[in-house]
């Protein structure tokens, strides 16, 4: 595939508080550090990224819908909406772009309510518990899947 892939990276609620919010779980690096990490990882993979963050479910749904025809895939960390938003799941299913769910922490080892992921039902993969590196892995997974898609 010679075309530069365009991936929309969406981060959900409270990720803008990285470095402040529960540093024992999420670390001391900031959201600005995360964006820089994603941009550098994308550059190395020859992927164009648009990195966004919102605390509002409807905004996230709008971004997913607007991705259709503009992006090749989506990397999404729905954050708390992972466990509650059928709307985000439905939007991901509607646009049918390859999407990879990512989480900084390992949600499967946290509170029981965090074990449920609606978003995962519309994603090709879920990567959790690898910190910022999970975003690089998610970009790689999108690239791998898109390379085999006609």
The catalytic residues are 26, 103
Query: With the C-alpha atoms ordered 89, 94, 96, 98, is the resulting torsion angle positive or negative?
Result: negative
Cα–Cα distance for residue pair 57/13, rounded to 1 Å: 8
Place of tokens 């919010």: 21
Q: What is the DSSP letter of 132?
A: T
- The angle, 0 to 180 degrees and rounded to 10, between the axes of the packed helices 57-67 and 86-95 is 10
Helices (H) and strands (E) in the chain, counts: 5, 5
């Amino acid at each position: 595939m010679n075309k530069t892939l365009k991936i929309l990276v969406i981060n959900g609620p409270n990720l803008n508080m990285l470095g402040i919010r529960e540093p024992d779980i999420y670390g001391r690096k900031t959201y600005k550090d995360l964006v820089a990490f994603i941009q550098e990882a994308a550059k190395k993979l020859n992927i164009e990224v648009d990195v966004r963050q919102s605390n509002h479910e409807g905004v996230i749904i709008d971004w997913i819908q607007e991705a259709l025809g503009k992006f090749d895939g989506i990397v999404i960390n729905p954050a708390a909406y992972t466990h509650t938003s059928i709307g985000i799941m439905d939007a991901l299913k509607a646009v049918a772009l390859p999407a990879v769910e990512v989480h900084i922490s390992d949600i499967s080892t946290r509170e029981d309510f965090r074990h449920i992921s609606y978003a995962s039902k519309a994603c090709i993969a879920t990567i959790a518990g690898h910190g910022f590196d999970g975003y690089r892995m998610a970009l790689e997974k999108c690239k791998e899947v898109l390379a085999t898609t006609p």
